[in-house]
Chains A and B, each alone.
Chain A
Amino acid sequence: MSTATTTPVVHRKKVDWTKQALRAWAVLMYLFLFLPILWIVAFSFNTGRLLTVWNGFGFEGYQALFNNPAPREAVVVSLIVGVLSAIIATVLGSLAGVALARRPGKWTIVFLVFVALILVTPEIVDAIALLPWYVQLGQGWNLTIFNNGYVRLIVSHAIFSTAVVTLIVRARLSGIDEALEEAASDLYATPTKRFTQITFPLMLPAVLAGGLLAFTLSLDNTVISSFVSIQGTTPWPVYVFASVKTSLRPDIASISTLMFILTVLAISLVAVVLKRGGDSSGDIAATMTGTG
């Protein structure tokens, strides 16, 4: 810092420029990220018959929610499927993650290859694989449970989500020294207690993040759902996708706006919980992307 005392003004200006440029870029980025959201919220007040053709300001899109049960039911289906598949994915994925992190062995490679395959396979391939499979199971082999729309959706969503949760939990636990758990055993803790009081709280942020991610993935799942869903249990994205090809109505924007508000509230809630648990934003982001 040999220049500090001689030319302080120049030094300060230089720092400002870069920082301002970065800040400006950040603003642009946020604008970019939110642009379509803003538009959808704006068009949720469209009084036209078609979503994409502006006709005037009004609340008809929201009123349609009361008149037209189809989109509402679709949202309900999505929420139910989301919660249930997230639970399954979280449980299965966490267990697998624990096993991978704490009990690695020859089996680890095989398992991880599987997980990688699941993540690499394009969704369309999963979709075209699952539909005939369900038909085979449900009708060919008479396992009628697979004729149930909910079961099909939940299982389908759980596959990818489980893979994701597995990696997230594994990443989290790998980063935590097993010493803590060993210390617990040394102090005479039973295996159960060791799990509930040491291991589990340590992996809780990852489990929560994984669960939340699984829920979102399920809510957003379009391709697989559109192939395997059954009449009566049409999830929200499938409803929207079907409308895209024919005619979109403003009620889609209205529901989306409402769901948007709900998700913001939900995320804020989870973030508060995680913050309370002592995680920094970095940790949260890390667990969510499986890089923590």
Chain B
Amino acid sequence: MGPIIKVKNVGKKYSIRHFQGGYVALRDVIMTIIKSPLCFLKKKVKNITGIGTKEEFWALRGVSFEVKAGEIIGVIGKNGAGKSTILKILTGITPPTTGEIVMHGKVASLLEVGTGFHPELTGRENIFLNGAILGMKKSEIAKNFDSIVEFAETEKFLDTPVKFYSSGMYVRLAFSVAAHMEPDILLVDEVLAVGDAEFQKKCLGKMEEVTKKRGRTILFVSHNMTAIEKICNRCILIEKGQIKRDSTDVRDVIKDYLCGTESTIKDYSWSNPNNGRFENEWWKPLHIYLTDKNGKPYDTSIRNDQVAELVIKGDMKNCDPALTIGYAIYTEDGMLLYWSFQTDTDENSWPKIERGFFTLKTEIPQRLLNEGIYRIELIGGLQNRSWLFAPGGHNPTINISIKGGISDSPYWTGKRSGIIAPVLPWRGYNSTN
């Protein structure tokens, strides 16, 4: 069987005017015509002949790809890269400016949960209305009704207008309807951003179930890299309206996206560019890097069973007992793992730093980090007074890449599930009862 979706050289052009907000008033147009008919005519002619149409913007350009039945494709990219535009074109909400798309099968889209929900209508009524808007047949909705209600966990409130629902209930009901669509091709936009973690998990599970069991094709736009990695078996990275990567190695594409083009993977060390940006009254960081336990700087990835030492070199100008220097470590998708400061231990064991050049060393324990790339950000300040390097600011940052050596067990050689990958000893014995 050929591809289920075939996208050929699709482009979408907007005129900038649409982005400036506001709308045209007929009154203004008429006034322009009356006031300066020549000017108006000139503009019209220009528009028609195509001269002077600089006010345009290609949201998508030359996008081509094919999708085979049963594939689950994650579409990632920065805001405004054109991800949502692709979905809008595929659903038919907006037409492409160039190119052609051929799709085989019933297409359904989920660009927003609860589209068309009416606050005055009850949960029951909204299930039918929303279902119909999403393209379900009345009989289909009726057939799935119990299952929808059960999934949403809103049995008790079925006959309450949804305006009285909590936002969680609202989203659950809305997603539940959507989850029961039965298309061959499902187009999903950033919809999992809503709802609590528990429910998100449930939704992801439902989506996985739907595709795996019934062989549905899904195109899934999201910023949630964990979700993409979990569900998708192919990933497309869009940058400035064009496809930058398209690969079945989902993790690799995600990595590419998160690290940006200038691949920060190289940045295993940081030195002060001396442009005055990282200066303050107290101290100035000079150099941050990772070494092995013999003090040899790392310039590749580190095995999970190796110790890494983080070295922070700096110039102390004003000592202060409240001074804290440390780091925050984040996962690839920006989740904070932990903070660590030189002042975390008992006061007597704090490293003594005096005026002048100094070096701080700390160990990133082995057997802690899972496979992947982590970002180490310099943070610190004056305890209970102010940040000098506030977390999440544009602080000096280096990367640490963990690869291999996850455990000595023959069962776990690759990346483990979860954020961290500690290897913990187990004891066991036969008990009598």
Chains A and B come from one and the same complex: no
Which residues in B have some Cβ–Cβ distance to A below 8 Å?
Answer: none
